[in-house]
Structure 1
Amino acid sequence: MRKLSYALGMVAMTTGNQDRASRRLYVWAAATTALCALYAPTAGADEAMLGEIIVTAQKKAERLQSVPVTVSAFDKSFLDAAGVVSVDTLSRMTPNVYMSSFAPSKPQIYIRGVGSRQFDIGSEPSVGVFIDEVYVGRTHNIFNHMLDVERVEVLKGPQGTLYGRNTIGGAINIITAEPTQHLEAFAKAGGGNYDAYFAEAAVSGAVAPEKVSARLAARYTKRDGYLKNLATGGAALGEDQIVVRGKLKFDAAEQFSLTLSGEYNHDDAPGQQGKAEGPDIFLRSPVAPIVAPTPDRFSDYYNEDSTLERNLAQLSGKARWQNDNVSIVSVTGYRYSKLEEFGDIDATILDIIDQDISETSKQFTQELRIASENGGAYTFEDRMSWIIGGYYLHDSSDRSDTFILGPDSLPAFLYLLAGGTDTILNTLLLDSKTESYAFFGQVSVALTPALNFTAGLRYSHDKKHGIYSGLTNIPGTLLIFFPFEFDLRRTWSSVDPKFTLDYHFSDDAMAFITYSTGYKGGGFQWAVTDPLLAQRVFDPEEVRYYEAGLKTQWLNRRLTVNIAAFYNDYKDLQVQRIVATSTGGASGVITNAANSTIKGFELEVLARPLPELLLSFGYGYLDAQYDDYVFDEFIDYSDTRMVRSPKHTLNAAVDYTIPVRDSDEISVRADWSYSSSYFHEPGEAMIPAPQPQAREDGYHLVNLRASYASGAWRLTGYVNNVFDKAYRQALLAYPPIGDNPGQNIGYPARPRMYGLEIGWSLN
């Protein structure tokens, strides 16, 4: 009850002792309310009402403002107006969400302080990503440009009952546009600095009137990299992507529909390549003195350029049958992905060590659910709604990492000195299979016309099998101690309940309180070269979650104010620890070695004081700390801030449309976001001594857009990161461990980007 009282208290009262950043939001919210109050409802008030957003966060269509879940939803009109082309952009438009990446294939997603930066096939994500209800187990292409998207929903907090495993932090639903019976189409193209250009088009219409409809969409994007390699003349952090999607919808009968979807995605761009963080790139390595700082934040010296090639194919089918009483839905998905990546991982001009990655994944999922229909025979005169279902997943993945020791490395130098002639290759191989099934159910009962009680339960069972091996072509070259192979097997089960009370004061105001739990699957080690440590298996993470929320609309639905507060009791975090190796050295391994407490609150405001003017504001406060985290016998991270968890996040936007002659209009939009400081690595310090590289200072970002629309045509100009703010989107920091000298590699975020685009649409 203490934890739930905290959440309720945070919603019910302001925190007068917070710092200036948290106090500003109350001034802004009050000003917005006062501004809207100047405009009393008139005969034209409907034009100023905020549009209704329908979400499927609870596996059924509901009003966003009526769902007792904290959801940030972005429909197509918002995505177009804000120029959102990839999911990670949304992290700057909703509080307490962090999305970034080390490289195109290594995304990081954190919601309310819960996330992961493990990218290998032995680990699981902390935030579930779903595309048209199909779970995306391997997220290495999730930050690619979105194509023909209808809506994105960001569900905050564990979603264990209806979404299952690996949604311990939340879930992201990406819903693509459906085929239509009427003819509609759009096309747009544009270009910008760094030789950027893109083209996108879609068409939808009837194949057989009233029976079959189809939709086809495609996009091509290319942009030069902005991180220059002064040694080779190449550049990293660029884009070269093509994606194609086709959909067919069959309305075979009044009660039955079937939607089939196929997508192909190809990416051929520079791979992982960051920037050396000053002369201590190797910290205490003998080569550290020669790794000098580079002229600016967008240049570095690598002896080779990185490369990346990704291919993805996805097939899915959604069948729905319903009558007046129940609906039955089947969602089937198959995903195939292939990743090839090469990188100079020593981050120097010396030929020390390169990494060649090859990864293949095949995933099959099946969900079947039965739900009550409003007004049906099994709802007790609409006093109850329910859903039950089952879920199955099979993932088969294999990955090889070959580490190529160059002549500037000490092992290779000694080998060549002794007369060796071959290139030294050390390879780690993991063949992993995951099989998971689950059964779930949720029921909501109207205790009174205004008060509802919801109870849900999910049982999950995971079985993992992995074959982990290490090979070397030159014995005694140190990177891998000796050839090994292990057969690893483990099973886990979890029962995750959810209980919610929601009270509707009116059609425009509701409050809710929730208790739920979440579960993230366990896994196997990766890139651990000691044979004994490589056999260590880490167990699942678990969280107990408390939340209270208030959703309101005011002034004839021209003002929306939503508030939520939360408390997480987070157990068995999968974190890195330093342990002794079998040869007397030290190595980093993933273990369940940490517990944490996460608490905070959020405010989201949306206002339309005039039909032509839309204002938005968001604020998030996050207090995320490790309660227990012993890194090694000398370093204790307990009572320090968790990684990638800024205490304050804010965002605001102004969107104004000016009607001009006939049906033409001019639209201008300004977006602002702020993140307070946070740490890329735990403990608020690096090893062996505090390092400023671990901390990311707070920063502001501003984006501007302006467009002119005439009939079916629209011309748009944009500038992102207007003030060219310098910050890092990620940091790879390896402390010195045993004979490993350690590294600090930063990945600079995008500089100022600008361009023009022209679009045409037919509706």
Structure 2
Amino acid sequence: MLGVTPCLSDVAVADDATAPLPVLISPDWRLIDAQRTPRTVDHFQGGELDRSGVSNTIDLQYRSPGLVFKTNTVLGQPYLRGVGSDFISAGAESSVAAFIDGVYLPRAYDLIVDFYDVDRVEVIKGPQGVHLGRNVVGGAVSIHTVDPQPYRSGYVDFLVGNYNRRQMRGAVNVPFSDSAWAMRVAGIVSRRDGYMENIFLGTDANDEDFHAGRAKLLYEPSPDFSALFTVEGYREDSSRAMGSQPDPDVGTSGGINMGGTVPDDPRKITENVPPGIELDADRYSARLIWNRHGVEVRSTTAYLTTDAALQTDLDGTDADFASNHPSGDSTAWTQELRLSTSPYRTFSWVTGLFVLDERANQTLDVRLPQADARNVPDGTVDTRAYAVFGELGYRWSPRWRTTAGLRYSHDRREIDLVHTRTSGTDTAVATQRERDTWQAVTPELGVEFTPSLQQLYYARVSRGYKAGGFNTSTIQDPFDPEFLWAYEAGYKVSSPDRRSRFNASLFHYDYRDLQLNTPPSGAEEGTFPRVINAARATITGLELDMLWGVTQALDLGLGMTLMKGRFRKFDSVDPNNPDVDPDRSGKRLPQAPDVSANLGAAYRWPLYRGTLTLHGDYRYQSQVFFNIYQDPAVRQGSYGLLNLGLAYDSHARNDWYAELFVNNVTDELYAQTILRNDPLTGTKRHWGAPRTVGMRVGYRW
């Protein structure tokens, strides 16, 4: 999705650095070749993700070092290199964005994306102001699904596993005879029993039940023009990522104080309110590409709707103390128009326009039956944003190239919030109707040195910006934008056949006005958190990516991020520990592990007109804290996850494939999320997936 470097296979080049400039012969200049892109990009092919057991964006953290993907029920809260956000509001967006086929996804409801018929996924690290439609401060996850092809093809596969897991995926690609039209239809149905057992209600929690479908229609009458139309729908009715277990020894839980019980078994819960998610999402988009006289004109138009309703037990016990019944919806229209030339010209350029128009609603509904009280903030936010951007590139010689980019962003939000509090027969209503505007200019500068086709040195400086916003959970003043200056220098080298590579990058972030979530000090039960701007933080790190093709049969891989993320200047009282020194200077950032690493190995050997592959992946993460106060109660210690698989792929024209896999082989117990809010919920842990075993069998033609 980055529009700076084409795929290597699409370029005719010579390895001699004094040879003429490469000639671009592909009409799509936005395909990434990660080895030739002057920034840190983790690139995964769809089949590679399948073999690694990565089925959605949550699982990407187990393959991409530096990525931590926190969840809060159906909300996705990704962090990249310590940059992210965990507050819930229709008046703000994530600091780490997600895109599907170039379409920006504005809501946290949309960030948990299940993969099916995926061509590739790119985790792009650091601020982006020119090469993605929407500006991002921390980075982005860019998902590319398979486009229609000019030949008949398709596949279908079935997966079964423990916890009664059943999944079917498939796709059919049909070109229309003697025409420039082709269509591809893909879909998935997935069901699973819960990882948690609710022994109070006699039901499961953290189960999975969703289905999705996508249809793409491609019109390509010539190499100079193409039009792609996409319709996609997603439906979920489950309790995925829900079901929590309170810690009776830490914090103050209203449910436990009322006599609620907590099982000793971490996979068992006693919630008296069954958790549930109902989520409907639709996406319609049109992508038009013209190539005329060496200039590509690309238009991406999208219309997105999301509708979600949830219910969750806040205290996590069998006491009828507190529950929340939130809902939310979003209707968004986006338009990106981009003109660009090949970066392999002596003088190259990119220019474009991005527009976002969204209406989003969030309603929370906290109920305290024993106190006969309810707290219901109902907020609607209209967002209208636009940006103009451009980049100039100049190739001083076949080896040296510099780039300079600039983006102007303008964001306007208007909130209409009605906050109703009920206690017995008393009702208090407060309202907020307010509008605010933010704008920013964010530059990008880069230099590249390419001594040969296999080597790249680069250095870049960029400024990230995330607009200010409104908190739809409670009435407060609008919060300010956050900014990040990013400095990165790196080196990339690979073997001619790309079976071996070594990439390294050093980065330093100067992060200011962080948008952070904090409960008010001394707040009563049922009070919602506020969003504040912290003064300053710095993040410094080293990232390594290595692949070694030891033999034709054996591959070894290593990815690692060593990082130090600390607040530089920040005072805030921890409402759960009000007697602790409020000076947070020098304290860790949330979701910022000092070490995260991925180890991988694959061994292949021929078997009956096919290939049998044994593969393993190990993910290690050092300790993290799940809030801004470095509270030991919300600390997840270091842990490691091991996945193993055995896959067979036939070499026949119409071929079968099959795989046996075991994820989390050692059945490691780790927290996906830990929340603390005294005296309402106390400390609650949402555990990650246990050991899962499964088999997938498929047929492609």
Q: TM-score, normalised by structure 1?
A: 0.84
Which one is further off, 618-627 or 133-142?
Answer: 133-142
Which residue pairs with 1:728 in the alignment? 671
Question: When the two structures are aligned, how many residues end up with a matched partner?
Answer: 667
Which residue pairs with 1:403 in the alignment? 366
Query: Equivalences for 1:650-665 in 2 at 5 Å?
Result: 650-661=597-608, 663-665=609-611
Which residue pairs with 1:701 in the alignment? 641
Query: Equivalences for 1:560-579 in 2 at 5 Å?
Result: 560-577=501-518
CA contact (8 A) 1:372 1:387 kept: yes
Q: TM-score, normalised by structure 2?
A: 0.91
Aligned mates of 2:597, 2:463 — CA distance in 1: 28
CA contact (8 A) 1:312 1:338 kept: yes
Which residue pairs with 2:111 in the alignment? 142
TM superposition shift of 1:630 = 1.3
- 1:471 equivalent among 414, 417, 420: 420
* Identity level (%): 29
Which residue pairs with 2:356 in the alignment? 393
TM superposition shift of 1:636 = 2.4
C-alpha distance 709-165 of structure 1, shift in aligned 2 (>3 A): closer
Query: Equivalences for 1:286-305 in 2 at 5 Å?
Result: 287-288=256-257, 290-305=259-274
**SS state at 1:615 partner:** strand
- 1:79 equivalent among 35, 49, 52: 49
CA contact (8 A) 2:407 2:443 kept: yes
Q: Is 1:498 aligned to residue 467 of structure 2?
A: no
Which residue pairs with 1:237 in the alignment? 206
Q: Is 1:91 aligned to residue 49 of structure 2?
A: no
C-alpha distance 623-117 of structure 1, shift in aligned 2 (>3 A): same
Q: Is 1:635 aligned to residue 582 of structure 2?
A: yes
Unaligned runs of 5+ in 2: 1-23
Aligned mates of 2:307, 2:276 — CA distance in 1: 14
| Residues 398-425 of structure 1 deviation map (CA, whole Å, 9 limit, x = unaligned) | 122222221xx2x22xxxxxxxxxxx54
Letter in 2 for 1:575: L
Query: Equivalences for 1:322-401 in 2 at 5 Å?
Result: 322-373=291-342, 382-401=345-364
**SS state at 2:572 partner:** coil
Which residue pairs with 1:761 in the alignment? 700
TM superposition shift of 1:164 = 5.8
**SS state at 1:140 partner:** helix
TM superposition shift of 1:556 = 5.8
C-alpha distance 165-558 of structure 1, shift in aligned 2 (>3 A): closer
CA contact (8 A) 2:133 2:336 kept: no
- 2:540 equivalent among 584, 594, 599: 599
Query: Equivalences for 1:429-468 in 2 at 5 Å?
Result: 429-468=378-417
Q: Is 1:176 aligned to residue 145 of structure 2?
A: yes
Letter in 1 for 2:614: V
CA contact (8 A) 2:255 2:320 kept: no
CA contact (8 A) 2:302 2:333 kept: yes
Aligned mates of 1:276, 1:579 — CA distance in 2: 24
TM superposition shift of 1:143 = 2.3
- 2:490 equivalent among 529, 541, 549: 549
TM superposition shift of 1:91 = 1.3
CA contact (8 A) 2:251 2:676 kept: no
- 1:252 equivalent among 221, 226, 235: 221
| Residues 154-209 of structure 1 deviation map (CA, whole Å, 9 limit, x = unaligned) | 11011123326551110111000010111111000021111110001101021243
TM superposition shift of 1:277 = 3.2
**SS state at 2:364 partner:** strand
Unaligned runs of 5+ in 1: 1-53, 376-381, 413-423, 529-533, 686-690
Greater radius of gyration (CA) = 1
| Residues 249-278 of structure 1 deviation map (CA, whole Å, 9 limit, x = unaligned) | 001344211000000100000266443332
Aligned mates of 1:273, 1:325 — CA distance in 2: 51
Which one is further off, 586-595 or 294-303?
Answer: 586-595
CA contact (8 A) 2:476 2:530 kept: no
**SS state at 1:65 partner:** helix
CA contact (8 A) 2:343 2:349 kept: no
C-alpha distance 165-475 of structure 1, shift in aligned 2 (>3 A): farther
Q: Is 1:559 aligned to residue 500 of structure 2?
A: yes
TM superposition shift of 1:742 = 5.2
**SS state at 1:684 partner:** coil
TM superposition shift of 1:230 = 1.4
Which residue pairs with 1:32 in the alignment? none
C-alpha distance 457-166 of structure 1, shift in aligned 2 (>3 A): closer
Letter in 2 for 1:549: G
| Residues 686-722 of structure 1 deviation map (CA, whole Å, 9 limit, x = unaligned) | xxxxx4x321111111001112333311221110000
Letter in 1 for 2:635: R
CA RMSD of aligned residues (A): 2.4
TM superposition shift of 1:615 = 1.6
Aligned mates of 1:397, 1:285 — CA distance in 2: 32
TM superposition shift of 1:293 = 3.9
TM superposition shift of 1:368 = 0.6
Determine which structure has the larger helix proportion and give its number: 1
**SS state at 1:635 partner:** coil
